[in-house]
Structure 1
């Protein structure tokens, strides 16, 4: 067994005295648990610390493994540049993890580095580890997360474990991640009821070593709770595939409105009942089947458009059984794609451009999957996990001012009074709760300055999910 232990830990900069300046005393239990966890980690005298961090390089469809021989970082962004850390990377293990992932068909590797500095999700565990162990005697593998499914994160964890075993590395896995960021009204991110619910479910699963529960937590709950660590925990679970673990929740606190949990996991030998990939894939298959069965003709058409184009590079013919209103109505429509409750693409038209609504949806679906400039084109292996929304727009109407808007009821078009620049925002979006926010975002999307004169239009949508 080359994964000696693993630890789920948070990364609040305020926990450091250099940053907290006394405020860290409000999370003294987290500090004590963190020190106990890293003391235990150092006592194993590992060859390598494998750290997954939400603040390392993160791509929607790719796991980034930090390249190079060494890296440094400090807490300058938190006004504590004097707290510095330097590490040596385990280049051989990093390269073999990338190779194992390639064999498994998982997009991962050493390419795509944008910032070589150690991120704070990596720095904080190292800060505590070096209290008890020398960073000169241990090598580091630093890995970012992705927007891919729980099963792919789990399989990537298996690849990490397999690579460590092949090289005979004695490794400790550190899964860095905070819990919900929305626990308190006066916290930095506000409050939603899902925040405490997520934290309770997640910490229960961590404390019980119930990795399958972690892997199957409700995606919408996790998204609403604004967590950042769950994908780290998914990878960690895969690294323990087929192994019995002794788990312990060491602490949980959230006084600043963000959940901080510390948990430890020690291996206790092979256990075939703890191979979770097959039941996880079956659960994902069942969820997809149930979701597709509930889709109405609008959403089914968007799915058909995307899947036909991505698989065959062809535009699908319109199905013969479409409702008549889709064939005899013209309207603008937006098609949005989501992957693990994260936006994966959205393209639409606010006025009709095709001879019928069905064709509007068909072509906008293809555009959302392939031409949204914010995202790479959808890949074949993503298709089973995509969720679709179709918004059919009413004809935009001019309004005299913001008092005629309601962000829950109306979408908005902000058009420059000087030229054709315009920005559009759909209604009833998470996090867009005020008219001011709605106008501000629409201005940004249209590249229209905050004080530039504009004309306002509103519209309503019929949303199909």
Structure 2
């Protein structure tokens, strides 16, 4: 890490800029002072390259985005600030070497420019996740080229490996570099914050910052998934990459400040590292394998069959037959079944049947698990390489019965709406669906039914089985 001369965690609240805060920024004075310390420190380092990792650039689900034009511009007009503007040169040579390493090591990353982003109706430019931290750098120093990275919703270990690719590129080019992980912590610290309040928010912030201060890299990667999800954060994936860039070193975080008066946690941290011939990557991969095996061994028969079905299909190219050793209720009963597949907490496929179409629940699971992986029109087909990163759930449905709106409860009952040949279904107990009106509206939208028209309603219950239960 001889060429990485500074590693930092910085938040990106737009109101930290006085033209936006208009005095409110004084409520986070500790954050401002700490960011100023980092700005002055970077000025004394005089890096040739500043690498910034942001959550708020154009984000892809399957590849880390690396901005790759001669320069990159941005402003804060979306926050009614018509004065702040940046135009920074990009180090395209660095990008070329970085993407070559990523390709050789099978790390999902892509160079992006205006032409590519126009296909997605997005514009190329600096986002506030970059502009706010760089504001504190540019006050003191601007003789650098930028490497602008937007993380992706890919596996945590791949993010760590991308950080390692950054380290390798920096050392290969022998350029003085600084890395900034831009990210806010929990957005759910108070009831008047931008997200719904959760007591888990404060717990997440305290736990993450403590682990970073101790240099507990493995602990950071193995924080409870529910805790992370409930926190509503946007900085953890930036941290994963930053820690990867320090692979092979003993890491300690020096917390300069932490506060959250607006319901969002702002942590400012400087990282110190000491060369140590120990691979955290190897530990992380071993822990991932251990967790996967534990999840499979502790799973119930329903989701275990769904996973076995996928493994068999991707190994043999055909559908397996149910074993006679399965529980009798799976072999003798008939029900509609939905199989849902998630990858890194994001839906990857979901296919199901309202009524049984085969001779048993077991056959229904086998067939629908394959269809969820290969035939959901919203997603490209799941690849064999993805199987270990998937989480599978199986919903076994009761037979639908007619119902009125008054008889519905979105936490208990799923709904089916019917009008002529149009039919839409929504499973119960889905995140973000809290009222009957929301449930019916979504089901109608799926069916192409005008919710103001008359339509028939059916309700059903499910028995949900998830991996690891």
User: Same-fold call, TM > 0.5?
Assistant: yes
SS in 1 for 2:243: helix
Indicate which of 170, 184, 196 corresponds to 1:190.
Answer: 196
SS at match of 2:303: helix
What is the match of residue 119 of structure 1? 127
Q: Unaligned 5+ residue runs, structure 1? A: none
The one-character-per-residue Cα deviations of 1:30-89 (angstroms, maximum 9, x if unpaired) are: 122122122212321111111111122323332221222111111122222432211111
CA contact (8 A) 1:209 1:265 kept: no
CA contact (8 A) 1:49 1:141 kept: yes
Match of 1:389 in 2: 393
Residue number in structure 2 paired with 1:276: 280
Cα distance in 1, alignment partners of residues 422 and 20 from structure 2: 43
Counterpart for residue 307 of structure 1: 311
1:147–1:339 CA contact under 8 A, matched in 2: no
Q: What's 1:93 paired with?
A: 94
RMSD after superposition: 2.0
Structure 1 residue 225 displacement after superposition: 1.6
Match of 1:232 in 2: 238
**Counterpart selection for 1:411 from 393, 407, 414:** 414
Which residues of 2 match residues 328-339 of structure 1 at below 5 A? 328-339=332-343
Match in the other structure for 2:425 = 424
Aligned residue number for residue 35 of structure 2: 34
Q: Distance in 2 between matches of 1:373 and 1:18?
A: 46
Mapped contact 1:190–1:257 kept (Cα < 8 A): no
One of 164, 181, 184 as aligned partner of 1:178:
184
Which digits, 9 at most, give the CA deviation of each residue in 1:182-221, with x for residues without a partner? 2222222111232111111111122333222212212222
How far apart, CA to CA, are the structure 2 residues paired with 1:313 and 1:64? 34
**Alignment partner, residue 81 of structure 2:** 80
Q: Distance in 1 between matches of 2:367 and 2:392?
A: 14
1:199 equivalent to 2:205? Answer yes
Give the alignment partner of residue 152 of structure 2, picking from 146, 149, 157.
146
Quote the Cα distance in structure 2 between the aligned partners of 1:400 and 1:165.
67
Deviation at 1:452, TM superposition (A): 4.3
**Secondary structure, in 3 states, of the residue corresponding to 1:442?**
helix
Given that 1:391 and 1:464 are in contact with CA atoms closer than 8 Å, whether structure 2 keeps it comes out as yes
Q: How many residues align?
A: 458
**Moved runs in structure 1, 4+ residues, more than 6 A?**
none
**Of 213-222 and 155-164, the range deviating more from structure 2:** 213-222
SS in 2 for 1:304: helix
Structure 1 CA distance for aligned equivalents of residues 380 and 150 of structure 2: 18
Cα distance in 1, alignment partners of residues 312 and 179 from structure 2: 41
Compute the displacement of 1:28 (Å).
1.8
3-state SS, counterpart of residue 65 of structure 1: strand
* Counterpart-to-counterpart distance in 2, 1:142 and 1:234: 16
Matched with 2:373 is 369
- Determine which of 128, 133, 138 is the counterpart of 1:130: 138
